[in-house]
Every structure is written in C-alpha cells, then in structure tokens.
Amino acid sequence: MLETAENGRTWVLSGPTSSYAVHLTERDELLHLHWGPRIALADAEELAARPLPGGSSFEAPLDGHEEYPVEGGPRFVRPALSVRTPERRGTEWTFDRYETDGDELRLRFRDAGLAITLHYRTRGDVVERWTVLDNEGTEPLELLRADSATWTLPDREEWLLSHVHGRWAAESRLVRSPLTYGEKVIGSRRGHTGHQYLPWVALDTDATEERGEVYGCALGWSGSWRIAVAQLPDARVQITGGAGYDESGLLSLAPGESFTTPLFAALWSDAGFGGASRTWHAYQRAYVIPDADRDRPVLYNSWEATQFDISEEQQEVLAQRAAAAGVELFVVDDGWFGARTSDRAGLGDWTPNPDRFPAGLKPLADRVHSLGMQFGIWVEPEMINPDSDLYRAHPDWVQYQEGRKRTEFRNQLVLNLAREDVQEYLWEQLHGLLSSAPIDYVKWDFNRCFTDAGWPGDAYPQRLWVDHVRALYALLDRLREAHPGVAFESCSGGGGRIDLGILSRTDQVWTSDNTDPLDRLAIQHGFSQIHPARVMAAWVTDSPNTQLNDRVSSLRFRFVSAMAGVLGVGGDLSEWTEEELAEAREWIALYKEIRPLVQHGDLHRLCPPTGGLSAVQYTRGDESVVLALLQAQHYGEPVPALRLRGLDPTAAYECLETGEVHRGAVLLHHGLRTGLRGDLDATVLRLRRI
Ligand code: GLA
C-alpha cells in the first residue's frame, strides 16, 4: 500500500507488517522519516513536522537523514551519487514531480541536464529501491558513483552488524559484531559478486533467532559492488550500496543515455533472524526466482568423480547407475567440448569434442532421456583459453590493456562481453548448442576474476565492468526466452556469483565447491540467512572426501546434510557398492517425499552448526520435517531434545519415522528427541498433523 499526504510531500509505503516513510522539505531535501512497524499517514506527518537536530558549524544537519545523499553542498557523508561534467562536479537538485503506480513511488529530481528518479516499490514487507539517471542535456556526464539507495536506521544504541564472509570452498560463513563509529565496507572489485561476501547485511540491537527487530539489505548485482555501513558521529546509521567498488568512474552518459542502477532490496522484521530469513525467502520465491513454484529435480554430476577424463561410454554407465538410484537430471560437467581434456585448452570452442562425442551430444542426451532423466551440460561462456580456436581467431576479444601482460588464472582469460561481436558469438554458440540436442539444464560457470579489465580503442573502457554484467543478463534473458524449457544454474567456482540479480534469471545456484557434509552446515547456515533452500544446490560426494580433507562420513550424514537444499549426487557411482547404491536410492526416495517442504516451505533454524548438534526444520501446511546432524557427542551426555517451531500447540503430530504421536505444545516447549549418538550422526524426522 502507498499513501501520499495531501500536500504531495510525504509518502508512506506499507507491507503487511511494516512501513517506510519519506518526506520532501520545502527546500527539496528528501528526508527519511520511518522504517519499522506499520504506521499511519498521520504518524508520518508528525515525524515530518519534527525539525532536524541542530549542530555546530562543523556538522551538517542533513547528514544521516537523507534518502539519497548526493555529492556537494552541506553534506559530509559518503555520497550515493557523484557526477562530473566538463564544467562541474556534484549535484544540486530541484524536485520535478512524483508519480505513483500501484505499490510503486517515483520521485523525480533535476540538476541541469541530469534527471534523477528514485524508485520505491513494496513487495510484501520487502522495500525495493533503485535509481534511474537520464542525461537529458546536451553534454556528456560522467557517473563516478551511482548507488542504488541509501537506507537509514532509527536511532538506537549499539547496533550489531551481521554479514557473511568467505573464500573459494568456504563461502557464506556468518559473522555478527558490534558496529562502531566509522564505516564497515564489504564488496567485490573482482568483476563478479565474489566468494568473499554475499551482497547482504543485517543490523539488529538485541535480536535472537526467534525474536527482536532485524533490518536487512540485499543488492541485486552480479559484477563488482559495494555496501558501506556507516555509523556517523551522532551515532546514526546509514547503509549505502550499489554497482562498482570505487568512485573512479562507473559510466559515461552521452546526451540521451540513461543508467538504471541495480535493485537494492531491504526489509524490517520483528520476528528475529528466523523471521527476517523467512521474509527474504518468501520474497525471492514470489518475485525474484523464475518459476519458483516448480520443484527442482535431484541431479547427478560426475565432476568430482571423473574431472576432465570423460567419455560418452563412461557417462552412459554413470547415467544408468544414477537413474537406478532415482536421479532425475543427469549433468555432463566440464570436458565435453573443444580440445578440453584439461583446464589448459578449449574454453571458447563450444562444440562437442569429436573424439569424445563423435556424433555430438544428442546420442547421450537421448540415452539419458530414455532412462527417464533430464539432460544437462556445463558451460563457461564468458571465458577463453589462449589455447583455443576462438583465441587464435580473435586475440583482441579478451579484456586486456595495451602493452601489458594478460594475466592468466586457471590458464584462462576473460572475454570482453561489452563488445557486440562477442555477445553475438556467444548467442550463436549457445543457441546452436541448445538447439543441437535435447538439453534441459545448463550449469553456467565463471572461474576467474577480472584482472586486466581494459578495452584498447574504446573511449570509456571503464564501462566494461558494468557492460559485462548487462551483457551477461541480456544473454541469459535471450536464451531463456528462446529455450523456455531449459533451467540454468549460476556457478562461479562454487558460490562466486550469488545475488538477487543473477537469481532473477537462474533456477538454482551452486552453493560451494566444498561438498564436505560437515563444512557445508556452516556454509548453508550463512546462505540461508538470505536465500531459500529452493535454489541451494548440495551434492552427496565420496567418502573419504579426497578433494578437501579426507574426512570419512557415512552416507547417512552426507545425505541428511545435502537434503537441506536441492539434493544432488556427485560421487563416483561406478565405485559405489550395491549396498551403497541401494541406500542412496532410499535417501533419494525420502528426499522426494520431503522436497515440497524443503523447497517451498518455511525454514526454521533450530540449532546453528557450532560443533555439537545442528538442525533445521521446514514446515508447510500440516507437515514438517526436521534434519538433525550431530558433529560430536561429549562425556556421554544425552543430545538435547530439539524445540520445534511453526507448529500448532493444540494439535497432535505423528512422527512418521517412529510412529510416536506428540502434542504440538510438547514439541514446541520441551522438544523432540532425535536419538542421535556419537560422531557424525544424522537423522530425518517427518511430522504430520493428525
Ligand atoms: C568449477 C565448478 C565445479 C566444476 C569445475 C569444472 O570449479 O565450481 O563444480 O564445474 O569448475 O571445471
């Protein structure tokens, strides 16, 4: 709901439980009024009438109160917008007009030839903001910085900042620490979202998993980005974020050109971190993820088992075993194309390797379909090996600086996707590939960061940072439109490209190259703060885990860990015993039963993975499932019962595993006993209301 005051200068946007209010002063300053529980327009008008606190000549009263602080004038905060023209720098805007359209508010300002439109839209309790900059003048403008939005928190003492951090094979680990005076900046200057942080922050003062106020903000951009959380000298807190890491020049706008910033979404919840996560998940399933109401299938992928050493016959044997275990989607990973027998060659040449697939991919795809499974492949379209036909033909199609080294990571360079000829080449290759065989799924990888992001000959080469992402999005959108039955997975050496932008055009993400079932618990715990299980791919791989740590764990433990997301199998099935295959078949069958709850239900994190017991619960309608994992039991002490969530205290629930009937009130207040013992034990407990 969107309400406008009679004077056309105060607005309140409301979701089911929350409101967001802004006010435009007589001097055209756009001030933040409220973000929190629902309020009425009259409440916002009282807030609008409150004068800003005064200050000395060393302070700017506007600081910490503006919705979109521009550069210049009486401000000392980090500007959300920094514009340069041949004559001047900074912005001094005047209000032009406002427009309302359902739940969307547009506030339009002008400064000489530049039009600045701030967009606000409510999606349930999530507020989406973005900014559109139009050059309506006659001279070029340089956008040094153009953030999506600035979010302002209410005055409180002692905020705590939560975010996730990590690196390759160790992504999205949650940290929470006191915010102090100054700025905390997270982001990526790597050209992709990065393994180091998900573009998300949460702030609270005293929230728990179950209760308390939580503010969260998440950016939808798959290139370099920055979110800065500032505690100002008067203790007010503002969060500013957008595309690009630095102020060194984002884009140059010629007369008539415009730039739409990425989306910056945010929410307030008074139901703790659990409530905030459930609101994020529901928002993404309803408004971000394509076809989110469709189940994601159980997949098999042989990457960990076979690496580059693949052949049609070997893949067929694996496919037979996978089908017998109940797998629904068989994926051929790296190594099927060009001269790709190692990571030294082939990227760029997206046609099947004639030695390995003499008749192309169709025979294998048909065989996989005849086994009752969908067929998928791996690609890494934005990359190129110098040892490829493409590079030999077009050495200038990569990002490079004239006269400088071309840095290779994993023996590969990054294609310059800002170039139209590169865009067209990739479209033709991928469209041709998807038309050449019945392909149902594409794992789209991105295995190195930008290092030499230059474009010799272009008047404004910096733009390739932004234009790469725009071209990636356009290519994905075009492929999805031409091949509506194909699902896409975003992968970047695991979780290096996960954000609301890529999620609006992919069906799931590869959470991490780390498939160790114990490490995964913390990775999944951090990931679940923002994104739903519906997109969180998780594989069961071999034990010992030779890839990472030689850890030995049971199939039971590996399956229960992976069943908390979109289940996949990534072990060498040709080495699994008949007993192991039979056990896998049972776990996969059980996963298919609980899948509607896991992929579409409400998540309750019962116990964080801190070394002992950890557990998640998914509920949907009258059903609930608990996935509980015990890392280590100590001193023979009994494992504590799990207090469940989201149940009706007056109802009775049958546990399908034990046949026992429990009162809802007992499960909520005294808990469910798991029967877990020893080290690396795990269980799945299903409950049905009777
Ligand atoms: C990346 C992915 C892996 C695998 C390899 C193939 O590292 O994260 O899952 O696809 O590339 O080269």
pLDDT at 248: 84
Q: What is the pLDDT of residues 162-211, one digit of tens each?
A: 999 999 999 999 999 999 999 999 999 999 999 999 999 999 999 999 99
pLDDT at 533: 98
Which CA distances in Å does 672 have to 574, 583, 667?
Answer: 38, 25, 6
CA angle 531, 532, 538 (to 5 degrees): 100
Where, residue-wise, is CATH 3.20.20.70 in the chain? Answer: 299-506+532-600
Going from the Cα of 381 to the center of ligand 1, the distance in angstroms, rounded, reads 13
| Best probe residue, ligand 1, of 340, 344, 445 (max atoms within 8 Å of C-beta) | 445
For residue 445 and ligand 1, the question of a CB distance below 6 A is answered with yes
Helix (H/G/I), strand (E/B), else coil: 299? strand
Q: What is the pLDDT of residues 554-565, one digit of tens each?
A: 999 999 999 999
CA atoms of 60 and 330, how far apart (whole Å): 60
CA atoms of 187 and 147, how far apart (whole Å): 13
The CATH architecture annotation of domain 64-287 reads: Distorted Sandwich (2.70)
CA atoms of 119 and 100, how far apart (whole Å): 10
For residue 513, give the ligand 1 atom closest to its CA: 8
CA atoms of 176 and 269, how far apart (whole Å): 17
- Torsions phi, psi for 519 (to 5 deg): -55, -35
How much is the mean pLDDT over the chain?
97
For residue 333 and ligand 1, the question of a CB distance below 6 A is answered with yes
Amino acid at 125: D
pLDDT band at 86 (very low <50, low <70, confident <90, very high): confident
| Best probe residue, ligand 1, of 171, 513, 569 (max atoms within 8 Å of C-beta) | 513
Of 440, 513, 542, 602, catalytic = 513
CA atoms of 232 and 64, how far apart (whole Å): 7
Q: What is the pLDDT of residues 279-328, one digit of tens each?
A: 999 999 999 999 999 999 999 999 999 999 999 999 999 999 999 999 99
Amino acid at 438: P
Going from the Cα of 480 to the center of ligand 1, the distance in angstroms, rounded, reads 22
Pairing of strands 374-379, 441-444: parallel
Question: b or e along 282-319 (b: 16 or more beta carbons within 10 Å of the residue's beta carbon)?
Answer: bbbbebbbeebeeebbbbbbbbbbbeeebbbeebbebb
Give me the DSSP letters along 591-627. Answer: HHHHHHHHHHSEEEEEE--SSSEEEEEEEETTEEEEE
* Residue 513 bears catalytic tag: yes
Q: What is the mean pLDDT of residues 495-501?
A: 98
Going from the Cα of 86 to the center of ligand 1, the distance in angstroms, rounded, reads 46
* Residue 270 bears catalytic tag: no
Q: What is the mean pLDDT of residues 424-431?
A: 98
How buried is 452 (Cβ within 10 angstroms: 0-12 exposed, 13-18 middle, 19+ buried)?
middle
Neighbours of 623 (CB within 10 A): 18
CA atoms of 657 and 662, how far apart (whole Å): 13
Q: What is the pLDDT of residues 402-415, one digit of tens each?
A: 999 999 999 999 99
Alpha helices, DSSP H only, in 326-385? 362-370
Nearest to 222 by CA among 408, 411, 477, 421: 477
CA angle 391, 427, 358 (to 5 degrees): 70
> What's the token pair of residue 127?
């507020």
| C-alpha neighbours within 13 Å on the C-beta side of residue 123 | 18
Pairing of strands 508-510, 536-540: parallel
Neighbours of 264 (CB within 10 A): 28
For residue 519 and ligand 1, the question of a CB distance below 6 A is answered with no
299-506+532-600: CATH number: 3.20.20.70
CATH entry 2.60.40.1180 includes domain 607-689: yes
Neighbours of 679 (CB within 10 A): 11
How buried is 246 (Cβ within 10 angstroms: 0-12 exposed, 13-18 middle, 19+ buried)?
middle
Kindly give, in sequence order, each residue whose CB lies less than 8 Å from that of residue 484, ignoring residues fewer than 6 positions away: none
Nearest to 483 by CA among 290, 319, 287, 220: 290
Q: At what angle do helices 312-325 and 362-370 cross, to 10 degrees?
A: 20
Helix (H/G/I), strand (E/B), else coil: 430? helix
Where, residue-wise, is CATH 2.70.98.60 in the chain? Answer: 64-287
Q: What is the pLDDT of residues 95-121, one digit of tens each?
A: 999 999 999 999 999 999 999 999 999
CB-CB contact of 616 with 597 (8 Å): no
Amino acid at 352: P
Going from the Cα of 445 to the center of ligand 1, the distance in angstroms, rounded, reads 7
Q: What is the mean pLDDT of residues 349-363?
A: 97
Going from the Cα of 168 to the center of ligand 1, the distance in angstroms, rounded, reads 11
CA atoms of 142 and 89, how far apart (whole Å): 9
Q: At what angle do helices 555-562 and 519-527 cross, to 10 degrees?
A: 10
CA atoms of 313 and 319, how far apart (whole Å): 10
Of 445, 467, 519, 681, catalytic = 445
pLDDT band at 55 (very low <50, low <70, confident <90, very high): confident
Where, residue-wise, is CATH 2.60.40.1180 in the chain? Answer: 607-689
DSSP single-letter state for residue 59: S
pLDDT band at 54 (very low <50, low <70, confident <90, very high): confident
Residue nearest to atom 11 of ligand 1 (CA): 493
Residue nearest to atom 3 of ligand 1 (CA): 493
